Structure 1
Amino acid sequence: MADLTPSSAKRTCEMPERAKLHLAMLALQFGYAGFHVVSRAALNMGISKVVFPVYRNIIALLLLAPFAFFLEKKERPALTLSFTIQFFLLALCGITANQGFYLLGLENTSPTFASAIQNSVPAITFLMAAALRIEQVRIRRKDGIAKVVGTVACVCGAMVITLYKGPVIFRQASLNLNLTRHWQQQQVPLLGDAKEKSWTLGCIYLIGHCLSWSGWLVLQAPVLKKYPARLSVTSFTCFFGVLQFLAIAAFLERDPQAWSFHSGGEVFTILYAGFVASGIAFAVQIWCIDRGGPVFVAVYQPVQTLVVAIMASIALGEQFYLGGIIGAVLIIAGLYLVLWGKSEERKLASETAASRLPSAVSDHGNRAAPHKSSLVQPLLPSTSENAV
């Protein structure tokens, strides 16, 4: 007879965890997509490219530090000079260079292409890890071939976006034209493609953003092994990122007016970047990584590009160029090849470990340990507070 107790009925009515993971990741992509558009709005409003990340990371630090202090009290090692230097370098790569290159690239391109080129991060991360012998490449197996081909496709896609803009294949609809006239009358800055800017230079900046992001992913692996307190590592990284941007601002931003808010729109963009794109997104993504794994999280990355494209075309009148679409297709195809290769590699490693287990047990009771990659966060476009 079925158990009809209230607790069992409640469990029956609850949403399955896998469905919650999919909904959380989908909501996360909308949050990231909004960040691309909001960041472009901030630049068009005239917010300084140095001031914006300072305020953003201060908000993220204030949001994350209390949780890191109280939740990781027992597992947080003592802060030594060695850890301090490592956190400083993580901030230099994962926040200062990462966010700085992103804003410079976004200023010269568009939100859609900034999102599209970010899909190359997992493949670039794999390439760096392979070059440093952190990640193994077995080119005689199908998973190794998939990872190599996927990486090449991502690199080619990034090159196409950078070197070939091509003709416009999608123009503003009449609704967008009417919205554009309305915004011009209201003196609201447009958020579409960059006008009178260097598209190639913007793409180069975005590649620098992807390289620094990937470098941060690779560098944080050994740090997290020695300092297994993820929230604390993130908080320290944000802290040093704020200090580094303040040092840059001391040389590049001498105008005191740049630090003041001139409209509610400027306040909204900074609050959105700090709370949604850093604090909330980080908490959601950490939960998804814990429950679904890094590959599950990475697979959703191209969804962000689609959401940005739809949002920008409907609301902002953004134009689509042939080169950007070809490059985005190559990057997304390459991303899925790399992720598929990683998935197959894990399956083969698990099968090999399972087949060796009986013989290993019979041989003096020694068990063979399953193969594990030494990369803590392989192919993970993660931790949104450092991502963009």
Structure 2
Amino acid sequence: MARDDTLRGHGAGAAAGVAPERARLHVAMLSLQFGYAGFHVVSRLALNMGVSKLVFPVYRNLIALCLLAPFAYYLEKKDRPAMTPGLLLQFFLLALCGITANQGFYLLGLDNTSPTFASAIQNSVPAITFAMAAALGIERVSLRRLDGLAKVAGTALCVAGASVITLFKGPAVFGPAAALDVAHHHQPAAPASGGGGKSWMLGCLYLMGHCVSWSGWLVLQAPVLKRYPARLSVTSYTCLFGLLQFLAVAAVAERDAAAWALGSGAELLTVLYAGLVASGVAFAVQTWCIDRSGPVFVAVYQPVQTLLVAVMASLILGERFYLGGIIGAVLIIAGLYLVLWGKSEERALAAKEDAAAAAGTICDEAAAASCLKQPLLPPATSEAV
């Protein structure tokens, strides 16, 4: 009885400790989507002001490195394992995938399309990440169990919901009656090529490369964090190698020295926002969430970004909110619930298996101890001769 009470007490304490962490993970990911929603607008403003597509990521990653490196150095002195050539290669590949290819393809795609389309196409990240993680065995999926089916169906619903918000407008549900409809008809209907030498189709290909790179970065972080469990240091090394890679590319492709000068305070603010919020804070938050809950949990929040853009446009810019936004929001929330429910059921099943294994070990140890205490032969009895 005492042992059962002790086990129940440990289980209740573990459950109480898990709940606040899960809440922090959800709050962190929601805050991250707000930051990224603003980054789409900021990046477009920077490109419109003439900031170079190579200089912009160099400054962005330099600011992020200056922000993260001091914290990583002082807070993770005891957590950093010894550096090896294999780890350096992994950091280099993380930077190549998650910074150089990811940010480079994004800026090229954004320059040829629009922030709305760039945000919409990023909703393929959960599906790509889920497929990559399942193929590599990082994310366990059993289609014979409800949790596996829920994760697959939830991911599909998230992507479908964000697609509905982008592609289907429908009648206006609520919003200012005097809102102008000009802004809603301003976006082109995906022409093959735009003015000024820009190609919509090429922009779509760049953005798909951005999504694949982003998904690969999310998935590759999980095994690296197991070998090098210092999250801020991993992020700092990734920013360092990404900065070096962009500097190497800029040294060859950007020959205009004037492109490195930020000509106005607005350009400086866009670079600071990109470096501090979209790289420094965002990378640290993403790495922490991946370490605590896996890459699919991080990726599945991506479609929320499109919903936030629609809501912010309605509240701040005075745009009407249409039926497509309502339907898409319902699909996104339902998809998130299914994925998170599936992961919760998977964790509960794993906890039961661990508890059963631990209970079996305790029983085996108790049986072995009783066998040692009990003699192998019964004591001799004195009989009359």
Q: Same fold (TM over 0.5)?
A: yes
Partner AA of 1:86 in structure 2: Q
Matches of 2:112 and 2:320 in 1, distance apart? 14
Partner AA of 1:240 in structure 2: F
Summarize the Cα distance change of 1:29–1:157 in structure 2 as closer, same or farther, 3 Å threshold: closer
How far the C-alpha of 1:133 sits from its partner, in A, is: 2.5
Partner SS, residue 262 of structure 1 = coil
- Name the larger-Rg structure: 2
How far the C-alpha of 1:110 sits from its partner, in A, is: 3.0
Matches of 2:305 and 2:157 in 1, distance apart? 19
Equivalent residue runs for 1:141-152 within 5 Å: 141-152=145-156
Matches of 1:291 and 1:136 in 2, distance apart? 16
Summarize the Cα distance change of 1:155–1:202 in structure 2 as closer, same or farther, 3 Å threshold: farther
Matches of 1:21 and 1:98 in 2, distance apart? 24
Partner SS, residue 78 of structure 1 = coil
How far the C-alpha of 1:28 sits from its partner, in A, is: 3.6
How far the C-alpha of 1:90 sits from its partner, in A, is: 0.6
How far the C-alpha of 1:363 sits from its partner, in A, is: 2.9
Equivalent residue runs for 1:54-73 within 5 Å: 54-73=58-77
For residues 136-186 of structure 1, the C-alpha deviation after alignment (integer angstroms, 9 at most, x for no partner) is: 22111111122333445567779x69xx967897799865689x8xxxxxx
Summarize the Cα distance change of 1:168–1:323 in structure 2 as closer, same or farther, 3 Å threshold: closer
Partner AA of 2:253 in structure 1: L
2:229 pairs with 1:225? no
Q: For the Cα contact (< 8 Å) 1:192–1:319, is it kept in 2?
A: no
Q: For the Cα contact (< 8 Å) 2:218–2:295, is it kept in 1?
A: no
How far the C-alpha of 1:351 sits from its partner, in A, is: 2.6
Q: Which moved more, 1:126-135 or 1:308-317?
A: 308-317
How far the C-alpha of 1:107 sits from its partner, in A, is: 2.4
2:273 pairs with 1:272? yes
Matches of 2:23 and 2:158 in 1, distance apart? 30
Partner of 2:116: 112
Matches of 2:324 and 2:208 in 1, distance apart? 16
Summarize the Cα distance change of 1:173–1:215 in structure 2 as closer, same or farther, 3 Å threshold: farther
Q: Among residues 48, 53, 77, which one is paired with 1:44 in the alignment?
A: 48
Which residues of structure 1 form unaligned runs of 5+?
Answer: 1-15, 181-190, 367-388
Equivalent residue runs for 1:143-222 within 5 Å: 143-152=147-156, 196=195, 197-222=198-223
Matches of 1:50 and 1:168 in 2, distance apart? 39
How far the C-alpha of 1:327 sits from its partner, in A, is: 8.4
Q: For the Cα contact (< 8 Å) 1:119–1:335, is it kept in 2?
A: no
Q: For the Cα contact (< 8 Å) 2:123–2:159, is it kept in 1?
A: no
Matches of 2:262 and 2:347 in 1, distance apart? 50
Matches of 1:199 and 1:329 in 2, distance apart? 30
Matches of 1:26 and 1:157 in 2, distance apart? 17
Q: Among residues 85, 89, 92, which one is paired with 1:81 in the alignment?
A: 85
Q: For the Cα contact (< 8 Å) 1:192–1:316, is it kept in 2?
A: no
Matches of 1:284 and 1:299 in 2, distance apart? 15
For residues 294-325 of structure 1, the C-alpha deviation after alignment (integer angstroms, 9 at most, x for no partner) is: 88766654443222223345666989999999
Q: For the Cα contact (< 8 Å) 1:97–1:209, is it kept in 2?
A: yes
Summarize the Cα distance change of 1:106–1:335 in structure 2 as closer, same or farther, 3 Å threshold: farther
Partner SS, residue 274 of structure 2 = helix
Matches of 1:361 and 1:148 in 2, distance apart? 37
Partner AA of 2:351 in structure 1: S
Q: Percent identity?
A: 72
Partner of 2:104: 100
